[in-house]
Structure 1
Amino acid sequence: MNAPAATLAQVFRRHALPIALAMLLLFTTLAAGTGLLALAGHFLTAAALAGGLAAGFNFFAPSAGIRALTFARIVSRYGEKLFGHDVTLRLARDLRLWFFARALPLAPLGLGRERIGDLLSRLVGDIDAADGLLVRALGPLIALLALAVLVVAASAAALPPVGAWMALVSLALGGLVPLAATLGARDTERRRAESRSALRQSLQESLEGAADLVALAAVDARMDAIDAHAQTLAHRERRLQRRLSAASLLHASIVALALPALLWLLLRAHHAGEISTPVAAALLFAGIALFEAAAGIGLAWQSLRAARASLQRLRAIAGAAPPVRDPDAPVTLPAVGALRLESVGFAWRGAAPRRVLDSVDLMLVPGQRIAIAGDSGAGKSSLMALLLRLRDPDAGRIRYGGIDLRQAAQADWHRHVAWLPQDAPVFAGSVRENLRMGDPGADDARLWDALGRVRLDDAVRALPGRLDAWIGESGSSLSGGQSRRLALARALLRDAPVLLLDEPTEGLDTDTAHALLRDLADACAGRSLLMISHDALPDGVVHVHYRLMAGRLHPLPPP
């Protein structure tokens, strides 16, 4: 978070050299194939006219050229596939890293309005389309353009009318075929991407809510909705295929007219004595090779449009400005200090701005434990967002050790904070792997100490493998209370002076919740604790209890 995330252009520029090499190899493959066909036509025609092994006919130079072009085509094609696939995979990797780096600062709050299925679609489908922008789309188009220039120039040098005709046909193929592939297809690629995303969303949400769908007898209705999304996507895919088929038909039609005309020009020139028979054959086969290579222009153009649409969808998420930025010259925060909110005000922006905090004052000194309660929508989560510096206050300031958090780097402040969210995830993996997310360098002694402080050590020792015991996805092999305790142990391993908890007992029964809170008070061991909780708290868990109402904090009397 200290360095700004790379721009999308920088991601592509990072791979400029292998991309250029892949394009060069693709052009070399096309040029070698075209040269091979032209030279073979010249050689076979000349050999036939020479009458087999007639004296004076040089068989060796053309055959050596054919072997050289064949070898060059094999090597360049292998290299193009090798470098092309390699750079595509590397580009896909870096695009996903770029997307994560840009989206993660927005994730806690800014992505809350986005559906998980849509984000997954952008991360998978759109990046798969975007990573081929240069190799699968622009690469073939640029290579075809270079091949056309080469063939036109060679044809014009041998016979200017043929060069002019080659240029005219190339312009027709390069202009009319892409037009047929995209005619009436404005925003089609964007709608195709949206259809793919809608289908993925529906499938993903259906799998997550499968138990509820069965319990509510809503499976058939959900399947109908999935079928509707699938039909919409299939309809748009068929329209795309029809346009590509139309482009292929137009290409074939142009070539069907161009080749007889090219043959007529060559026969006319040969009859007039302007070119020899072998040269005429070479020009004919060069034209055939060029027209055949141009058959992929419609697909390359469609891939270009798909990649552009996918890049726009990625930018719509990852291109958003982060809500909080680091100062140019950040101030270093002290190791320990008091956390103080001074007349803090905050409102969520939107069509109808909603002010949730108004002149909030709060002091959390080292070692103090504070709880804040409030009704749903009172602003508790907004207060926590400010304390985590996911947003900056609209009015007032938040200081730590006397320093305004806006003067410090976000990474510096986050090192001072251990956070346990309301839905703290337990990841599929071992106990050790889950705990070390709090401190990657923690040894076994520290891990057992953290488990002991939340009274989970005996339960872990009873597991097969102990610290290496496998935990299912979302902690499926643990009880709800054990999952919360494991997440709390992970937070305690951060060894941060400030511990922020958001509804740590949500969903737990009263006895389990009270036991966890009592253990939490003991586990803090001198740390500052600020907890958001609407539950009744056991005696001695916190020193001060507030209620958030009408945007302000009101102290509650001790129980």
Structure 2
Amino acid sequence: MSGDDMRSVFGRQRGWLLLSIVLLFTTMLAGVSLLGLSGGFLTGAALAGALGMGATFNFFSPSAGIRGLTMARIVSRYFEKLVGHEATLRIARDLRVWFFRRALPLAPARLGSSRTGELLARLMSDIGEMDGWVVRALGPLLALAGMCVATIIAAALIYWPAALLLLVLAVLVGVGVPLLAVRRGDAGEAQRAQSRATLRTLAYEGLEGVADLTALHARDAWIARVDAAAREVAGRDRRRRRRLIGGNVLHAVLSGLGLLAMLWLALSAFEAGRIEAPHAAALVFMTVALLEVAAGSGIAWQAWQSARVAGGRLQQIIEQPPSVPEAATPAPVPAGDASVVFEQVVFAWPGERRRLLDGVDLHLAAGDRVAIRGDSGSGKTTLSALLLRLWDPGQGSVRYGGVDLRRFAQDDWHRQIAWLPQGAPVFAGSIAENLRLGRPDASDDALWQVLEQVRLGEWARQQGGLLAWVGENGATMSAGQARRLALARALLRDAPLMVLDEPTEGLDVDTAHALLTDLAAALGSRSLLMITHDRLPPGVVHREYRLQQGQLLELDPAP
């Protein structure tokens, strides 16, 4: 596992994890001791009865020990499962929070190059492999190591050659066989993880685009791709299981040979008078128990390998450098001057020579409302991305209140902006929960006020009020209502600058014009930068520009 930050996630739950490992070791120790003591006790009892020595045989101490070990094993097993599940769930929660916290600053600039389904696979599959890393891999391996040491020490107290034999068996079946079964498995695990991510991506994108696939008569072809990806995953899982089965077969062979060797050694020592019969039986039964415990080491090593690959995949996402650096010594955002100035701004995407923006100049005074129009791919959205400081210009500067945006802390700057992106989502939740994403501390009165501003007040009352459920992606709303709700969320921020990217995308002309007219009335003294393809109704903006060949050209006012 790599990355100090990821280790800190596990470190926060070290108490639960340590308790889980101790309980697992206690369960193993109780099981091995129980089998060893039971074997010795039954052997001693049988010999005492056969030789007529029942009167001198200590029946009560071993039977009390057996009852105590049985109860200890039951109790420790129960609490081991309880604590292990608690630790796993806590880590699963913390890993997701950690991943989101590290990944969100990369959105949308860096994460935009990753497919949504791929990110979903990282979030689901890879974190799923990681959250049980201690309980499924590290804990069992540490407990097994402790169990081997304890069993070898116990065997040495009885007969030291038996301890040497147990040491050899422990190394062979606990380390050698599992490592042989998972040898060169990192590449296989990486391919398995990638094939699972591919399947999730195809399934997700197919569900998201089922309407388009149906309209283009491409659904059958897409299903065939999903089936092929599923067969690839199944094939890799079968190969993984075959490696594990091969290890189990080898484990069984070595266990059989080792048990025969221990049986021969114990009987030889008994015949030579070096140990008593109950002790000889205890050695054999301890060997049986230890070999049984070691049978799970292959699964543990495989889980370790999977978690290591998953951790590397997660690090690939969150270790990407941010698209813009934070200011070393952030300057305060000016409170009095809300002007925005683009001065000789030049921008080209990394690795590309074509300049999307080539010497752009734009002045947006406080309260100005400006629309930028242009063909697809002309750089309109790039202009808004520079204003949002998702990217920095290659040349020139973008200033707010006379200060270059690169001198602000990003959180401070983003608080000055209310952004309505193209395709702004409506989240599964209530009306109030969707609105309070814009301002978490907004009162109910403020929510109703902004709903009235975008003409959704009556609709919200008909739905049952602010707590009404809007459904996944606004399933209970029309497209126009969903855009109005997203606009209300942006207006609720009460930031001095509003940036809208294609706010009327997908709406009919009448709905779009009504939305824009309501927007103009609701803006008040706020500034507006709007990216749009559409013709605007009169009075929505003060000036319109066309972005063409990297240059901004001011358009004549509409008659």
CA separation of 1:363/1:53 partners in 2, compared to 1, >3 Å: closer, same or farther?
farther
Cα separation, 1, equivalents of 2:311 and 2:291: 31
- What secondary structure is seen at the aligned counterpart in 1 of 2:355? strand
Cα separation, 2, equivalents of 1:459 and 1:283: 79
Q: Deviations over 1:200-247 (max 9, x none)?
A: 222222222223333333333222222211111111111111111111
Aligned-pair CA distance for 1:526: 0.6
Q: How many residues align?
A: 553
Aligned-pair CA distance for 1:493: 0.6
Counterparts of 1:330-409 in structure 2 under 5 Å? Answer: 330-336=330-336, 337-350=338-351, 352-409=352-409
Q: Is the 8 A contact 1:103 1:317 kept in 2?
A: yes
2:474 corresponds to which residue? 475
Equivalent of residue 17 in structure 1, options 15, 18, 27: 15
Aligned-pair CA distance for 1:353: 4.7
2:61 corresponds to which residue? 61
Aligned-pair CA distance for 1:89: 0.7
Cα separation, 2, equivalents of 1:84 and 1:406: 47
- Greater displacement, 191-200 / 26-35: 191-200
1:181 corresponds to which residue? 181
Q: Is the 8 A contact 1:46 1:277 kept in 2?
A: yes
1:91 corresponds to which residue? 91
Where does the alignment leave 5 or more consecutive residues of structure 1 unmatched?
A: none
Aligned-pair CA distance for 1:261: 0.8
Q: Is the 8 A contact 2:417 2:495 kept in 1?
A: yes
Q: Which amino acid aligns with 1:33?
A: G
Q: Which amino acid aligns with 1:490?
A: R
- What secondary structure is seen at the aligned counterpart in 2 of 1:501? strand
Q: Is the 8 A contact 1:6 1:98 kept in 2?
A: no
Cα separation, 1, equivalents of 2:220 and 2:329: 59
Q: Is the 8 A contact 1:180 1:246 kept in 2?
A: no
CA separation of 1:355/1:14 partners in 2, compared to 1, >3 Å: closer, same or farther?
farther
Q: Deviations over 1:404-460 (max 9, x none)?
A: 322222111111110111111122333222222222222232222212222333333
2:135 corresponds to which residue? 135
CA separation of 1:334/1:94 partners in 2, compared to 1, >3 Å: closer, same or farther?
same
- What secondary structure is seen at the aligned counterpart in 1 of 2:120? helix
Q: Which amino acid aligns with 1:78?
A: Y
CA separation of 1:214/1:534 partners in 2, compared to 1, >3 Å: closer, same or farther?
closer
Aligned-pair CA distance for 1:256: 0.9
Aligned-pair CA distance for 1:183: 4.1
Q: Which amino acid aligns with 2:529?
A: L
Cα separation, 2, equivalents of 1:11 and 1:436: 29
Cα separation, 2, equivalents of 1:460 and 1:434: 13
Cα separation, 2, equivalents of 1:538 and 1:507: 17
1:427 corresponds to which residue? 427
Q: Which amino acid aligns with 1:55?
A: A
Cα separation, 1, equivalents of 2:298 and 2:353: 48
1:535 corresponds to which residue? 534
Cα separation, 2, equivalents of 1:211 and 1:399: 44
- Greater displacement, 391-400 / 415-424: 391-400
Q: CA RMSD in A?
A: 2.0
CA separation of 1:389/1:302 partners in 2, compared to 1, >3 Å: closer, same or farther?
same
Counterparts of 1:267-282 in structure 2 under 5 Å? Answer: 267-282=267-282
Q: Is the 8 A contact 2:270 2:280 kept in 1?
A: yes
Q: Is the 8 A contact 1:547 1:554 kept in 2?
A: yes
Aligned-pair CA distance for 1:399: 2.3
Cα separation, 2, equivalents of 1:460 and 1:40: 72
Equivalent of residue 39 in structure 2, options 29, 36, 41: 41
1:455 corresponds to which residue? 455
1:504 corresponds to which residue? 503
Cα separation, 2, equivalents of 1:464 and 1:538: 30
1:494 corresponds to which residue? 493
- What secondary structure is seen at the aligned counterpart in 1 of 2:111? coil
Q: Which amino acid aligns with 1:522?
A: A
TM-score when normalising by structure 2: 0.94
Cα separation, 2, equivalents of 1:484 and 1:159: 80
Aligned-pair CA distance for 1:297: 1.0
Cα separation, 2, equivalents of 1:262 and 1:473: 64
- What secondary structure is seen at the aligned counterpart in 2 of 1:397? strand
Q: Is the 8 A contact 2:421 2:502 kept in 1?
A: yes
Q: Report percent identity of matched pairs.
A: 55
- Greater displacement, 528-537 / 242-251: 528-537
- What secondary structure is seen at the aligned counterpart in 2 of 1:348? coil
Q: Which amino acid aligns with 2:127?
A: I
Q: Which amino acid aligns with 1:342?
A: E
Aligned-pair CA distance for 1:332: 2.4
Aligned-pair CA distance for 1:250: 0.3
- What secondary structure is seen at the aligned counterpart in 1 of 2:466? helix
Cα separation, 2, equivalents of 1:145 and 1:228: 42
TM-score when normalising by structure 1: 0.94
- What secondary structure is seen at the aligned counterpart in 2 of 1:241? helix
Q: Is the 8 A contact 2:198 2:229 kept in 1?
A: yes
Q: Which amino acid aligns with 1:64?
A: A
Counterparts of 1:147-226 in structure 2 under 5 Å? Answer: 147-183=147-183, 185-226=185-226
